[in-house]
């Protein structure tokens, strides 16, 4: 078990103290004083951090608060995140250091040094430019977890074209509505990808989405699986053909961007309606991801970092692509399923590649834990020095398994709380932080969080309340793409002047934060974020359905599972077969992750007098819990 080398002040509950072997080389050696200092003067703190990176022109002002909540960071500064992620390393020993080690599910591998990754990015930037992509055009990327996904993102950023990455596990409607909102003219996809020994039909899904959203003029297709696909003349081009054209030279000028220019749009589920396009920038996002990664995962040149997320989610954007490259680190990327062909796949790769830090989600840990300890025990995992968790609260049982069986009792777990909107870690331990299983511990430097009640007053220690952030930070979203009102409404209106996270939390006597979960209609399924509204609109798009409601119900492995309640149209009768058809319909429209666990046919749905579905009541009934205040119920 985790042991302390030195006596410490006692804190409440079950605590794991970091060992000297972990803390002695940690970049940050003290928390409390530095944290207080960073809160007193965040601008100095962030200005110093920004100074560690390269700028074409230095900023005039660290933070412009003149028009809240439209905050601006590093105003007047000019940079490009790709200049700091690639170009600047080419002048150092890192030129020949590995940037990316990749393994495909079938077992094929590829590696890229900073030099060769930069070369591929330059070539692809030239391809994009030759197709008429200009600064400010949003390019949609829909790829499996292959190196081209990283290359495509960086190539867009390099030429100032914001990317909109759509997770490869999403399906037709999810892709179509994202293309439509971004008004993309170029789509980058693949014939398919590998998952559990089968191919995912990415190009077929894309073709169906393009039939719904014809804004796409050019579609670039990476050959991954070699499966048969349709290529539309004049619209579809093979990536490898374009990359071998004479215009695809090895060098390409990195565009100088304003610090506040958008780097990407990433769609995420909200309380109501369609997914929101969260906008992040070249300047603030760069400084924030660079700093949080450096301090929390204490990254060193000899590390081999593995973030087992998908680049298509914020975790991958920030901590597979940008933060590791900004820090000159070596990242490992794996295409497929954790248990393919056997449940030791991950442990074998950690041993094979000498991975030193593993960052994953509780749902993955629980899924692998289910297969027992023997699969992990047959591998030498002694290269590991730190572990990480993200996406949902980690239950103490999974924490302990991760700590003892995977970390062999030697690796502290960095439980990082953050969101698509926050850009990077907000509440997280550092390697020196005493840990409490299930708590994300303390806020990061410069991050001022509170747990408050309905009136905005802080609640007492140990009490549950709304988790809010009191001050802006460089990695914060800047707006919702094409919908600034929604940005204000969603995040800054309920508690004026404060960022509303949508989560509930408790702060204990020692100032440790315990995240409880979403307070809104966002459901976290296996760590993936979905909105009840999206699932409902997918259900209603089926001809048999008149009305639908979706709720999240606790699930042992997934964290939450989706339960759907459906009112059928007049002439339709419910059956097991129809229920199955509806579950598949949702999977076809949004993606397999959104497939409801159950579909129940009902005659009515509980609604408020203003016609809103009372999902809280459905949830209470599903769980057999008290129904609470039902005074607003229609009848
Ligand atoms: C929501 C954000 C940003 C990383 C991936 C998820 C939940 C995230 C934790 C954690 C408890 C967590 C919250 C949050 N969440 N990390 N360490 N402990 N809950 O990003 O898809 O935008 O989801 O994930 O509920 O609001 P996302």
pLDDT digits (tens, 9 = 90+) for 85-124: 999 999 999 999 999 999 999 999 999 999 999 999 999 9
The protein residue whose alpha carbon is closest to atom 6 in ligand 1 is: 391
Percent of the chain surpassing pLDDT 70 = 98
Beta bridge partners of 334: 103
The protein residue whose alpha carbon is closest to atom 24 in ligand 1 is: 391
**Does 272 score more than 90 pLDDT?**
no
The protein residue whose alpha carbon is closest to atom 8 in ligand 1 is: 391
Give residue-wise pLDDT tens across range 558-567. Answer: 999 999 999 9
Distances (CA, A) of 512 to 15, 23, 33, 155: 11, 20, 16, 40
Give residue-wise pLDDT tens across range 368-380. Answer: 999 999 999 999 9
Give residue-wise pLDDT tens across range 568-595. Answer: 999 999 999 999 999 999 999 999 999 9
360, two tokens:
């994953």
Can you give the pLDDT at residue 611?
Answer: 86
| C-alpha Rg value of the chain to the nearest Å | 24
Sign of CA dihedral 45, 47, 51, 52: positive
466, burial (CB in 10 Å: exposed 0-12, middle 13-18, buried 19+):
buried
Which of 312, 318, 320, 418 is the best mutation target for the ligand 1 pocket, counting ligand atoms within 8 Å of the beta carbon and taking the most? 418
In angstroms, the CA 44 to CA 37 distance is: 10
Q: Is 417 in the pocket of ligand 1 (CB under 6 A)?
A: yes
189, two tokens:
């996809």
Ligand 1 midpoint to CA 466 (Å): 15
Q: Is 390 in the pocket of ligand 1 (CB under 6 A)?
A: yes
**Does 290 score more than 50 pLDDT?**
yes
Q: Is 559 in the pocket of ligand 1 (CB under 6 A)?
A: no
> Residue 3: pLDDT band by 50, 70, 90 thresholds?
very low
Angle, CA 234 vertex, CA 590 and CA 250 arms, to 5°: 90
In angstroms, the CA 122 to CA 620 distance is: 54
In angstroms, the CA 303 to CA 9 distance is: 32
**Does 355 score more than 90 pLDDT?**
yes
Ligand 1 atom with least separation from CA of 421: 22
The protein residue whose alpha carbon is closest to atom 12 in ligand 1 is: 392
Give residue-wise pLDDT tens across range 534-558. Answer: 999 999 999 999 999 999 999 999 9
Question: Span 447-473, mean pLDDT?
Answer: 98
Question: Span 406-420, mean pLDDT?
Answer: 97
Phi-psi region of 562 (alpha: psi -120 to 50; beta: other; left: phi over 0): beta
Can you give the pLDDT at residue 180?
Answer: 96
Give residue-wise pLDDT tens across range 424-452. Answer: 999 999 999 999 999 999 999 999 999 99
Q: Is 307 in the pocket of ligand 1 (CB under 6 A)?
A: no
Q: Is 502 in the pocket of ligand 1 (CB under 6 A)?
A: yes
The protein residue whose alpha carbon is closest to atom 5 in ligand 1 is: 391
Can you give the pLDDT at residue 4?
Answer: 46
What's the pTM value of the predicted model, to 2 decimals?
A: 0.96
Q: Is 398 in the pocket of ligand 1 (CB under 6 A)?
A: no
Ligand 1 midpoint to CA 391 (Å): 4
- The count of C-alpha atoms lying within 13 angstroms of the C-alpha of 252, restricted to the half-sphere facing its C-beta, is 30
The protein residue whose alpha carbon is closest to atom 14 in ligand 1 is: 419
In angstroms, the CA 148 to CA 281 distance is: 22
Ligand 1 midpoint to CA 333 (Å): 21
Ligand 1 midpoint to CA 315 (Å): 10
Distance of CA 607 to the CA centre of its chain: 33
The protein residue whose alpha carbon is closest to atom 19 in ligand 1 is: 392
Ligand 1 midpoint to CA 3 (Å): 29
**Does 189 score more than 90 pLDDT?**
yes
373, two tokens:
């300890």
> Do the bridges between strand 386-390 and strand 193-195 make them parallel or antiparallel, or are there none, so unpaired?
unpaired
In angstroms, the CA 557 to CA 370 distance is: 9
Give residue-wise pLDDT tens across range 148-159. Answer: 999 999 999 999
Please list, in sequence order, all residues whose beta carbon lies within 8 angstroms of the beta carbon of residue 406, skipping any fewer than 6 positions away: 347, 358, 365, 376, 381, 384, 387
In angstroms, the CA 460 to CA 452 distance is: 9
Are 111 and 102 in contact by the 8 Å Cβ rule? The answer is: yes
> Residue 9: pLDDT band by 50, 70, 90 thresholds?
low
Q: Is 360 in the pocket of ligand 1 (CB under 6 A)?
A: no
* Residue that the structure tokens 């009136």 belong to: 455
Ligand 1 midpoint to CA 417 (Å): 6
Q: Is 268 in the pocket of ligand 1 (CB under 6 A)?
A: yes
In angstroms, the CA 234 to CA 248 distance is: 19
Q: Is 23 in the pocket of ligand 1 (CB under 6 A)?
A: no
**Does 345 score more than 80 pLDDT?**
yes
Ligand 1 midpoint to CA 515 (Å): 9
Can you give the pLDDT at residue 627?
Answer: 84
* Residue that the structure tokens 């991958």 belong to: 316
Ligand 1 atom with least separation from CA of 416: 17
The protein residue whose alpha carbon is closest to atom 20 in ligand 1 is: 419
The protein residue whose alpha carbon is closest to atom 10 in ligand 1 is: 417
Ligand 1 midpoint to CA 501 (Å): 10
Which of 165, 391, 398 is the best mutation target for the ligand 1 pocket, counting ligand atoms within 8 Å of the beta carbon and taking the most? 391
Can you give the pLDDT at residue 635?
Answer: 64
Give the helix ranges, DSSP H, for 24-171. Answer: 32-40, 42-50, 81-85, 114-130, 147-158
The protein residue whose alpha carbon is closest to atom 1 in ligand 1 is: 419
- Counting every residue written for the chain, the total comes to 635
Beta bridge partners of 564: 550, 599
Ligand 1 atom with least separation from CA of 420: 22
**Does 76 score more than 90 pLDDT?**
yes
Can you give the pLDDT at residue 270?
Answer: 83
Among 220, 215, 84, smallest CA distance to 149 is for 220
Are 387 and 357 in contact by the 8 Å Cβ rule? The answer is: yes
Question: Span 609-623, mean pLDDT?
Answer: 90
Q: Is 84 in the pocket of ligand 1 (CB under 6 A)?
A: no
Ligand 1 midpoint to CA 395 (Å): 14
Can you give the pLDDT at residue 43?
Answer: 97
* Residue that the structure tokens 């760069």 belong to: 286
In angstroms, the CA 301 to CA 338 distance is: 27
Q: Is 551 in the pocket of ligand 1 (CB under 6 A)?
A: no
Which of 522, 524, 534 is the best mutation target for the ligand 1 pocket, counting ligand atoms within 8 Å of the beta carbon and taking the most? 524
Ligand 1 midpoint to CA 440 (Å): 11
Are 62 and 43 in contact by the 8 Å Cβ rule? The answer is: yes
Can you give the pLDDT at residue 1?
Answer: 39
Q: Is 392 in the pocket of ligand 1 (CB under 6 A)?
A: yes
Q: Is 524 in the pocket of ligand 1 (CB under 6 A)?
A: yes
**Does 214 score more than 90 pLDDT?**
no
Ligand 1 midpoint to CA 498 (Å): 19
**Does 2 score more than 50 pLDDT?**
no
Q: Is 391 in the pocket of ligand 1 (CB under 6 A)?
A: yes
Which of 265, 321, 366, 417 is the best mutation target for the ligand 1 pocket, counting ligand atoms within 8 Å of the beta carbon and taking the most? 417
Are 528 and 315 in contact by the 8 Å Cβ rule? The answer is: no
Q: Is 89 in the pocket of ligand 1 (CB under 6 A)?
A: no
371, burial (CB in 10 Å: exposed 0-12, middle 13-18, buried 19+):
middle
Can you give the pLDDT at residue 8?
Answer: 54
């Amino acid at each position: 078990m985790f042991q302390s080398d030195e006596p410490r002040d006692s804190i409440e509950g079950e605590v794991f103290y970091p060992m000297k072997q972990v803390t002695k080389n940690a970049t940050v050696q003290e928390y409390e004083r530095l944290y207080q200092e960073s809160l007193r003067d965040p601008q100095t703190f962030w200005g110093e951090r920004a100074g560690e990176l390269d700028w074409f022109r230095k900023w005039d002002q660290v933070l412009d608060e003149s028009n809240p909540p439209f905050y601006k960071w590093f105003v007047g500064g000019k940079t490009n995140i790709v200049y700091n992620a690639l170009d600047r390393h080419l002048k150092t020993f890192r030129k020949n250091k590995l940037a990316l080690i990749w393994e495909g599910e079938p077992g094929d591998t590829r590696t890229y040094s900073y030099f060769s990754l930069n070369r591929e990015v330059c070539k692809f930037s030239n391809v994009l430019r030759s197709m008429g992509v200009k600064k400010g055009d949003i390019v949609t990327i829909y790829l499996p977890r292959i190196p081209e996904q990283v290359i495509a993102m960086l190539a867009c950023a390099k030429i100032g074209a914001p990317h909109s990455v759509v997770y490869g596990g999403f399906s037709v409607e999810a892709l179509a509505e994202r293309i439509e909102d971004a008004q993309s003219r170029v789509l980058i996809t693949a014939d398919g990808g590998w998952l559990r020994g089968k191919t995912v039909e990415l190009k077929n899904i894309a073709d169906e989405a393009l039939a719904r959203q014809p804004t796409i003029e050019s579609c670039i297709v990476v050959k991954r699986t070699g499966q048969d696909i349709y290529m539309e003349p004049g619209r579809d081009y093979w990536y490898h053909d374009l990359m071998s054209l004479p215009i695809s030279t090895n060098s390409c000028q990195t565009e100088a961007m304003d610090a506040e220019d958008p780097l990407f749009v990433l769609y995420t589920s909200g309380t109501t309606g369609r997914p929101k396009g969260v906008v992040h920038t070249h300047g603030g996002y760069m400084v924030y991801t660079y700093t949080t990664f450096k301090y929390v995962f204490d990254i060193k040149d000899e590390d081999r970092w593995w973030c087992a997320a998908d680049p298509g989610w914020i975790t991958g954007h920030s901590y597979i692509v940008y933060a590791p490259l900004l820090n000159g680190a070596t990242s490992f990327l794996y295409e497929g399923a954790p248990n393919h062909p056997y449940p030791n796949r991950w442990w074998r790769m950690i041993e094979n590649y000498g991975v030193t830090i593993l960052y994953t989600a509780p749902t993955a840990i629980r899924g692998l834990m289910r297969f027992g300890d023997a699969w992990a025990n047959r591998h030498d995992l002694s290269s590991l020095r730190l572990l990480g968790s993200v996406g949902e609260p980690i239950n103490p049982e999974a924490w302990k398994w991760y700590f003892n069986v995977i970390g062999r009792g030697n690796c502290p777990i960095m439980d990082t709380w953050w969101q698509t909107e926050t850009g990077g870690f907000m509440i997280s331990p550092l390697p020196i932080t005493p840990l409490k299983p299930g708590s994300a511990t303390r806020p990061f430097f410069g991050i001022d969080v509170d747990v408050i009640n309905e009136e905005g007053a802080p609640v007492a220690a140990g009490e549950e309340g709304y988790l809010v952030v009191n001050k802006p930070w460089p990695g914060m979203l800047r707006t919702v793409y094409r919908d600034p009102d929604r940005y204000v409404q969603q995040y800054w209106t309920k508690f004026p002047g404060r960022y509303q996270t949508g989560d509930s939390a408790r702060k204990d006597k020692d100032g440790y934060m315990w995240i409880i979960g979403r307070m809104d209609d966002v459901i976290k399924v296996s760590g993936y974020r979905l909105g009840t509204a999206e699932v409902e609109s997918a259900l209603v798009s089926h001809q048999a359905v008149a009305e639908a409601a979706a709720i999240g119900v606790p699930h042992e492995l997934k964290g939450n599972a989706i339960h759907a309640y459906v009112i059928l149209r007049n002439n339709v009768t419910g059956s097991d077969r129809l229920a199955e058809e509806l579950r598949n319909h949702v999977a076809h429209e949004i993606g397999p992750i959104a497939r409801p666990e159950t579909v129940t046919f009902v005659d009515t749905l509980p609604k408020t007098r203003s016609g809103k579905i009372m999902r809280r009541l459905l949830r209470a009934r599903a769980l057999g819990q008290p129904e609470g205040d039902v005074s607003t119920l229609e009848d």
